[in-house]
Amino acid sequence: MGHLWIPDIPIDEKILRSVVVYLFILLAFRFTGKRQVGQLTPFDLVLLLIISNVVQNAVIGNDNSLGGGLIGAVTILALNWVVVEISYRFKFFRRVMEGTPTILIHNGKILTDNLRKERITIEELQAAIRKSGVVDTEKVRFAVLEDNGQISVVPKN
């Protein structure tokens, strides 16, 4: 019964593995785009599932103990709390981790370079404009991809 709670690898290694994997995934997703969870495509979901499976062994190593799993989970939760707290307190860190808003339409003109940079299709942009109650892009003063992945639309008067 003791092997159930006692990790098979040293606790400091377990913590280090968890920290490295968390930071890697955090940075990888930061630089892959600004989509919200609700906006994930089936491809994004498959990617998340595969990555979670691939990095599982990097976090747990050869350890299948309950204690080792709990140590890894607590480490990742604590690290996430630290990242959220630092993001809240320091604007520079928040900007680095979350990015900055991107203008997609300015005075009715679609900025195709910004769409391409953010990997947003014309169809996705038009759907966001329609959700805001505007039918034609010519009637949009600004459309902005916010740092949280939502598209805000400011219509012309």
Domain boundaries, the chain: 2-98, 102-150
Measured CA to CA, the distance from residue 27 to residue 142 in angstroms comes to: 29
Measured CA to CA, the distance from residue 108 to residue 143 in angstroms comes to: 9
pLDDT value, residue 140: 95
Percentage of residues in the chain having pLDDT higher than 90: 36
pTM greater than 0.85? no
34 closest CA partner among 125, 120, 122: 120
Question: 107: phi > 0 → left, psi -120 to 50 → alpha, else beta; which?
Answer: left
pLDDT value, residue 35: 60
Question: Residue 123 is which amino acid?
Answer: E
What digits encode the pLDDT tens for the residues 109-139? 999 999 999 889 999 999 999 999 998 899 9
Is residue 143 helix, strand or coil? strand
Beta strands in 20-119 (DSSP E): 102-106, 109-110
Q: Tell me the average pLDDT across 77-102.
A: 89
Cα of 56 vs its chain's centroid, Å: 19
Beta carbons within 10 angstroms of residue 18's beta carbon? 22
Residue 38 has pLDDT above 60, yes or no: no
In CATH, the number for domain 102-150 is: 3.30.240.20
